[in-house]
Structure formats: C-alpha cells, structure tokens
A and B are shown apart, each in its own frame.
Chain A
Amino acid sequence: MNNIIKKFLPQILAILFVVLIFGFLTINAQTNMDNRGIDFGFGFLSQESSFDVQFSLIEYSGSDSYARAFLVGLLNTLLVSFISIIFCTILGVIIGVARLSSNYLIKNSAAWYVEFFRNIPLLLQIFFWYYAALRALPLPEKANAWFGVTYMTVKGYYIPAMVWENLNIFLYCGLAAIISIIILRNYANNLRDNKGKQIPVLLYSFAILIILPLLSFLIGGVSLEFELPQLKKLSKISYIYEGGISLPPELIALVLALSLYTSTFVAECVRAGIEGVSKGQKEAAASVGLTPNQVLKLVIMPQALRIIIPPTTNQYLNLTKNSSLAAAIAYPDLVLVFAGTALMQTGKAIEIVSITMLTYLTISLTIAAIMNWYNKKIEIKEK
C-alpha cells in the first residue's frame, strides 16, 4: 500500500499541479477579458478581412476571409523558408567541403566566410541587405538588363514569366521520367547484386530525363513562351515593369540573409560529418581498389550523412522560425499578415497569437518528422 502511494502520488501531484496552473491561467485570462469586455472566439476567421496583401501565392483580395489571409501569410512563410533551405543547403555543402580542401586559398576563404556570416546577428544582416544593398539599386527606368531580359530594381527583381501550353502533358512526361529512373535504378541494383554486372545508371538517367520531356515538346503539343517584363509609365517620373514575374525586394533580402546566415551552420555540420568518418575507412576503401569518387559516394558519404542530418535538421528548424523576422522589412509572412495586420484589425490578440504559435509548432514538427524519417532511412541497418 505504502509503496503504491510512493510510486503514484508524486506523479498524480505533478499532473494536478500542471492542471491547476493551466486552469488558473485560463480562469485569470477569462475573468480579465470579461472585465474589459473582450470576447473570446474564432468566429472572426470567417469574416471579411478587408485589407490587401502585397504579395500572395494564391488568389486573395480584401473581400476574402481572415482564414484566407492566414493561409496567404502561411504560404509566404513556407515559400521563403523553402527557397532559403534549398539555397543554404547547396551553399553549406559547398563551403563545408571547401573547408576540408587541401588548397590553402579555398580552405581559408571558406573559413573566413563561415566566421563572418555566422557571427553577425541575423536581424542586422536582414537590415543590411534590405536597407543598404537593395535600396541602392536603380529605379526601374534606369535599370540595366541582366542576362538581357531580367531587371534588378529598387522595386524588385523582374524576370520573364513562363507561358505554357499543355503544361499537364509536360508534367506527366516529367513524372514518367522520374518513375522510369527509379525502376532503372532498382533493376541496376539487382543486376549488380545478383550477377555482378555494372551499367552506367547515371548516364541513362540523364538521357531519360532529357529525352522524355523533349518528346512532349516535339509530339505532345507542349509549347513554352516567355512573357518579358515591359517598362510601363505610371506618371511623369515613375515607372514599373509589367508582365513577367516580380520578386519583391523584401523577399530577396530575406532569402539572401537567411540562406547566407544558415549556410554557415550547415557548412559546419557538413565538415563535422566528413571529419567524423575515420581515416581508416577511406584508406581501406582505396586499398580494395575503389576510385576516389566511389570512395566518397559509397564509403564516406553514407557514414557522414548520419552525423550531418540531425544537427542540420536543427538548422532548418531555426531558419523557418527565423523567417518570422520578415516582419521587420515588410515581407508579408505569417507574422506580418496574421499576427500583425489581422490582429490589429480584429483585436483578437489571444486567439491570433495562439494560432500563430501552433502553426509554427506544426511547421517545425513536420520538418523534424521528415528529417527523422530520412535519418532512419540512411542509418546503419543491423542485420
């Protein structure tokens, strides 16, 4: 009897404590809100938002609901995180490998890069890119064309838009190409395992990837045209580019700052991963006659990745959360649109802040889940 009490009482007390604390906080908030005549509820989500957003991935206007404004903000957050994660990964891997180079110049510039961008606060970097670098760009009418058809201006980066005909056929062809490559790889692996025969999978894969979509152009009726940005006069002295796609400077500044900053951490993860594989492994692989490429691909990388993935996941999570600094430079992300404008217009502080917090939590947990799944997939399979 005594033992049972000793075993469970502390746990029951702990639970009771947590419940009481939450209960107290809820009741406290409730009473205070009642006293001040503030209603609690999520009904506002279906009301008309009546404000516009600078930049949206989906159709949105002021006559849409607050729920849709939330979605606009969420998609903008995901967009900037997604682009930055891709850039910071590419850059991080290059810099990380460069730090291990035997070339003195490459090795040291990479080290300088890491130390420089890692040690300046992110918000300052965002301000630098937005207020210093991008504000110094020319006005639209004075901008020089980059690559002949794109224009980098103080109002944004204007690039040609793609106008597709029968885009779905092209996408099906792309999908078919990817599926056939997967089948080919499985077949090649079987062939190697069972009969010891090697076929140049990479070469064949590239061929499939080029030929199938190309066929869609030749016989599938797919066509692609580019709509170029055209200078348009707004008044005697102000111009804008019309047609094509406009990337607002807020987005560019944010992507630049987030990718450069996070890439330094990714680079260190990559370096740690590669250095974490013992030298003996490399020497052993070389001594059984593998080429340097094969050593990297078949021996070093599979082991290094296991060290690289978990800390890199952290960096991806950080990047996504850091993207909320967007609010400082008018990029319409979740925080600016929903926890900013929508909060102000409705006054529903508790509801909106909790929704925003839950959303970031969900995004982070989803990224963590994907990376954990990938980590599981590449870990050593004990047989």
Chain B
Amino acid sequence: MFKLVKRLTSLVAMFAVLFAFSTETMAAKKSKTLENTKKRGFVRCGVSQGLPGFSNADESGNWTGIDVDVCRAVAAATLGDATKVKFTPLSAKERFTALTSGEIDILSRNTTWTLSRDADIGLTFVGVNFYDGQGFMVRKGSGIKSTSEFKNGTSVCTNLGTTTELNMRDFFDSRGISYEPVVFEKADEVVAAYDAGRCDTYTTDKSGLAAQRTKLSAPDDHVVLPETISKEPLGPVVRQGDSVWEDIVRWSLNTMIEAEEYGVNSSNADMMKTSNNPAIKRLVGAEGELGAAFGLDNDWNLRIIKQVGNYGESYKRNIADTGILPDRGPNELWTKGGILYVPPAR
C-alpha cells in the first residue's frame, strides 16, 4: 500500500516536471531561433530537391542557386561564415510542415507568396528574390504557338502541392477546356512523365520550365509558350512568431539587392568602407549601428556582400551564366527598368 502511494507520487512528480518544462520552452522568446542557430553553429535551410539555378546540388553535395544564396547570406550575417548552412532538400508537399514543425529555420525553395500561405498556416514571407509567372512547355513539333490552341482532353503534368495546381484549374476552367491533370510529388518524376509522352504539356513557373528543360532527353525539341498565366513572386519564408529572425532573413536578402543598387560587390566591398556616400558606408558597416537592431555585430552586411556577393552577382552566377534565363526581365533593379525595389537600409 505504502509502496503504491510512493509510486503514485513519483509519477505525479514526473508529470509536473514534464509540464513545467513544456510551458517554459513554449513561452515565446524574442530571438530563440538566432540563439539556437548560434549554439548549433549552422543555419538550417530547406531547399528544393534539385532545381538548377535556384537550389541544386552537384556530385560532391555542394549546393548552389539564388535560393541557396539567401541562406548563405543569413549564415554569413549570423555566424560569420557563409558555408555554415545545413541544406534539407524538401518536396513541395513537405516544405511547410518542415518549417512549422521546426525542422528547418528558413525555407528558401522557390515558394510563391500568397495570402493564404502568409496568413493562414503559421508562415511569414520575408520578401521576393525572384519574380516569376506560370507558363506551359510543349513539344516544338506540335505546332502549338499559344495557350489558346489547347484542345479538350489535353493532359497536363505538374507538381503536387503547388500554386500551379490551382492556377491551371483557373486557367482551363475560365476557358472551358477539359483537361487531365497528372500530378507527381517530385519534379524529376514530372519531367520524366512529360518526356515519355504521358502528357501533352508541362506547366510550372517559367523559371522552373527553363531550368527543367535542360533535364529533358532532347531539350531543343521543346518550347515554352509565351503566355504567363499567373503572378508567382518567389521568396524565402520563416516560421511565424520570431520577428527578430524574420527581420534578419528579410534584411539579409535586402542587403544583397541594395548592394547591387549601390554598385557594391564582393570584390570592392572592403574598399567601399571609405566611400563618400553614407548609404554605401552603412551597407558595409562603416557607419551606423544597423546590426545592433537584430543583436548582430556591425559587419553583418559586409560579410554578406563579401562572402555571397550582391544580388546581381548571384543572379549572374546561378541563372544567367548557366543559360537558364540570361535575360533578367522583371528581376532587374527598379533603376534599370525591372521591379526589384527594397526599402532603404538605414
């Protein structure tokens, strides 16, 4: 009898401890993610399973791409070393759960910013690093020159769990065309299905089409149709609830874009410390105390520019020079006719 009572009390005590623990860890602290990242020594970043130009791993496991560079910039700012990033390849279906469950801290995976994603599922979009739109790819031999030539019964291959699935329904419904959606979880499976003739057309973001075209057995036999059927602003995402971390990621991206605007790049960043322009001096940490706002030192933005480069360098290295989309289109600075425009860093 006595033994049982003893056992019972220890059980209750165990639960008390468990509960105390959980309420303690749940209390939202301001920069918990930053603290954990520093403790861990690397940034946990979710990327795609392989999209050339955006996030793609080579044979030796080195990740490159403009989405990858956003995570590298955050690592340079917070840890001082752009290589201290652990990349987790995620399918479109897995990506948000991985972020909300705390498996990764930044999702930089050609993800479209939409109202419901931003407001409804515990995510916050911090900006846009690529302005895109959905398009269609068809076989050249089909003679199709425009989306208006699609006929009833067209089969369409695409990715599961994307805005693409919704846009294509809007598109075909509004034109009264019946179609057969064939949706795969992995981008490679979509490409293979389209290549084998399972589908008449392949639809996704135009940048994605351009990148995936290189994986087809005969890339030159395929053509991306001119129409763009949706707005797809792609950008990095963080978990809701840690506004300091959110700001760090946002301003890491903004720093890259602003650096291009002011002509600061990885090779001239150190020299710019003595610039006459206060805006440039702020960008390379020679003036002001901008880093203090996030609990970072004053060289955080200089490290981003030196180690990762500005947005223009990143674009050239990953997207233009690889032949994916040599023409920057809307992803040109606002001063050069594009729509890249970020708030001033001051």
Contacts and interface: CB of A to CB of B under 8 A. Distances in A.
Contact of A31 (B26, B96, B116, B138): B26
B151 A234 contact: yes
A32 B26 contact: yes
Given A155-B155, A330-B189, A135 B138 contact: no
A20 B15 contact: yes
Q: How large is the interface on A (under 10, 10 to 19, 20 to 34, 35 or more residues)?
A: 35 or more
A20 to B, nearest CB: 6
Contacts of B18: 24
Contacts of B241: 35-37
A13 B11 contact: yes
B153 interface: yes
B4 A36 contact: no
B166 A51 contact: yes
B240 A240 contact: no
A189 interface: no
Interface in B85-100: 92-93, 96-97, 100
B168 to A, nearest CB: 8
A117 to B, nearest CB: 24
A249 interface: yes
A347 B1 contact: no
Given A237-B141, A347-B120, A31 B160 contact: no
A109 interface: no
Contacts of A347: 96, 116-117, 120-122
Contacts of B100: 36, 38, 349
A53, A236, A332, A344: residue with the most chain B Cβ atoms closer than 10 Å: A344
Q: How large is the interface on B (under 10, 10 to 19, 20 to 34, 35 or more residues)?
A: 35 or more
A235 interface: yes
20 contacts: A24-B18, A37-B122, A37-B241, A51-B181, A53-B181, A155-B197, A234-B153, A236-B144, A240-B200, A248-B180, A250-B182, A330-B160, A336-B183, A340-B93, A340-B185, A343-B161, A344-B93, A345-B116, A346-B121, A347-B122
A-B residue pairs, 8 tightest by C-beta: A347-B121, A344-B161, A235-B142, A36-B122, A236-B143, A38-B122, A62-B169, A237-B141
Interface of A: 2, 5, 9, 13, 17, 20, 24, 27-28, 31-33, 35-39, 50-55, 61-62, 131, 135, 139, 154-155, 232, 234-238, 240, 242, 248-250, 327-330, 332, 336, 340-341, 343-347, 349
Interface of B: 1, 4, 8, 11, 15, 18-19, 22-23, 26, 28, 92-93, 96-97, 100, 116-117, 120-122, 138-139, 141-144, 149-151, 153-155, 160-162, 165-166, 168-170, 172-173, 179-185, 189, 192-193, 196-198, 200, 239-241
